Structure formats: structure tokens, C-alpha cells
Amino acid sequence: MEKIVILTGAGLSAESGLGTFRDEGGLWAQHRIEDVATPEGFQRNPRLVMDFYNARREQAAQAQLNAAHKALARLQKEFPGEVIIVTQNVDGLHEKAGSAVIHMHGALDGALCAACDHRWQAPLRMAPGDACPKCNAPAARPDIVWFGEIPYHMEEIAAHLAGCTLFVAIGTSGQVYPAAGFVQEALMHGAQTVEINLNATDVSGAFQTHLIGPASQEVTRWVENLLN
């Protein structure tokens, strides 16, 4: 039975109006990673970090699905084999399209208690010192995996990569590990590999097939070919 593992990155949501990180003028051109996406940055200036994620949460809440999100949800419904979507994105658009998805970097709509590890649905706006609804400690933080922290669901993802017949990376620059190394794990287990991106990436050499173009077009075409 065919098993497809799909890794998605910020490029999948670019056409939904959500900025990517490393493209021209991207998020990391506007903010320093060490200030807004590290535990040290949060310790130093929690207000700056909370406001960074508040802005992204509000943007994501208003973002519209694009054809690529819809095509992947259709693939999950109609493909006769298993389709696992692992996303580095935190914008919630896969779920809005009806996909089941593994969030390896957390999600904007999630809140986490730094004191007791309790998780709950994040309010649209969070502030430093927000109390945990379970232990009441003023220790709420975005449930986002920051640089220097361990991505979520890594064992489950490794098992999927070991058993997949096809690995597809969509809209990711292949610059952040462990996600950038998934293609090597899939290759080691004999999978076919496809990269869908606007242009070449740091890991393009590891892929057997490259579909170059905007995700809304290339993913839709790729899914149609697979299903027909």
C-alpha cells in the first residue's frame, strides 16, 4: 500500500498572504530570531515576543486557504493509501482545509504553561504573566517550538518516514533541521522524493523530482495527476 509523507513549510501559505521567513522581506528580515523566537528572547522581553505572536495569530485568523491547502485535504480524503502531512507551519490553514496534520513546530492557536506543561486553546491576544488555567501560575507562553527547543512528535514522524513510499516537501527552504533532514531519512528507506517550490533550495539535490512554481498551481496539478 502506498504511503505518502508530505512536509510543508511557509511557502505553502505564501499565497494566502502569510509571510515566509527567508524570502525577500520575510519575517526574519523584519525581526531578529534571537529576539522573538528563542526562550532567551522570551525571558528578556516577553512583551515583544507575545506581541510578535499576537500579530501572527491575528493575521493567520484572517488568512484564506489557497488551492494548495485544499488540494492536500482532497488528497488525504481520496487517495487509496495513507497520506501523512507534517507541517512546520503554525498558521492552522491545513486544519481549516479539513486536513489531519502533525504540527512539529507547534501552533499559533495553542498556549502552553511553562510551569506545569498544561496546553489550552490560545486567546487571540496573549500578554506576559497570563495565568495558566490549570495551575494558575503566571507562566503562559505561545505553544510554539522556538530555536533551541525540541520539535514535537519526532518519534512519530521518524516512524512515518521509515515506512513511506513517497516523500514530498512543499514550500520549505530546507535550511532548518531536523525537518531539512527528513528527505535523507526517506531516501534511506527507499522512498521516491519530490520537491515542490518556487525555486531551488539548499536540499534540492536530495530530491529525484522537482516541480517548480507556486504551490497553488503545482500542488493542485500534482494531486490531480496522482488521483486521476
Instruction: Tell me which residues touch ligand APR (CB under 6 A).
Output: 9-11, 14-15, 20-23, 26, 88, 105, 171-173, 175-176, 197-199, 201, 214-215
Asked whether 195 and 187 are in contact (CB, 8 A), the reply is: no
Alpha-carbon distance of 28 to 31, in angstroms, equals: 5
Name the 3-class secondary structure at 58.
helix
Task: For residue 161, give the nearest of 184, 177, 145 by alpha carbon.
Answer: 184
The residue number with the shortest CB distance to ligand APR is: 11
Q: Compare residues 76 and 201 and give the one whose CB is closer to ligand APR.
A: 201
CA atoms within 13 A on the CB side of 22: 11
Dihedrals phi, psi of 154, to nearest 5 degrees: -65, -35
Choose between 99 and 173: whose C-beta lies nearer to ligand APR.
Answer: 173
Q: Which of 94, 103, 105, 160 is catalytic?
A: 105
Smallest distance from ligand APR to CB 137, Å:
26
CB of 90 to ligand APR, least distance (A): 7
> Max alpha carbon distance in the chain (Å)?
54
Q: Where are the alpha helices (DSSP H) in 7-150?
A: 27-30, 33-36, 39-44, 46-62, 67-78, 93-96
Nearer to ligand APR, 99 or 172 (CB): 172
**Does the annotation mark 103 as catalytic?**
no
In the complex, the smallest distance separating the C-beta of residue 135 from ligand APR, rounded to whole angstroms, is 28
Residue 174 beta carbon to ligand APR: minimum distance, rounded to whole angstroms? 7
Residue 173 vs 220, nearer CB to ligand APR: 173
The answer to whether 137 and 131 have CB atoms below 8 angstroms apart is: yes
Encoded amino acid at 62, one letter: Q
User: Would you call 66 exposed, middle or buried from its count of C-beta atoms within 10 A (0-12, 13-18, 19+)?
Assistant: buried
Q: Which is nearer to ligand APR, 50 or 132 (CB)?
A: 50
- Residue position matching grid coordinates 516523500: 167
Minimum CB separation of residue 133 from ligand APR in Å reads 26
Q: Which residues are catalytic?
A: 105
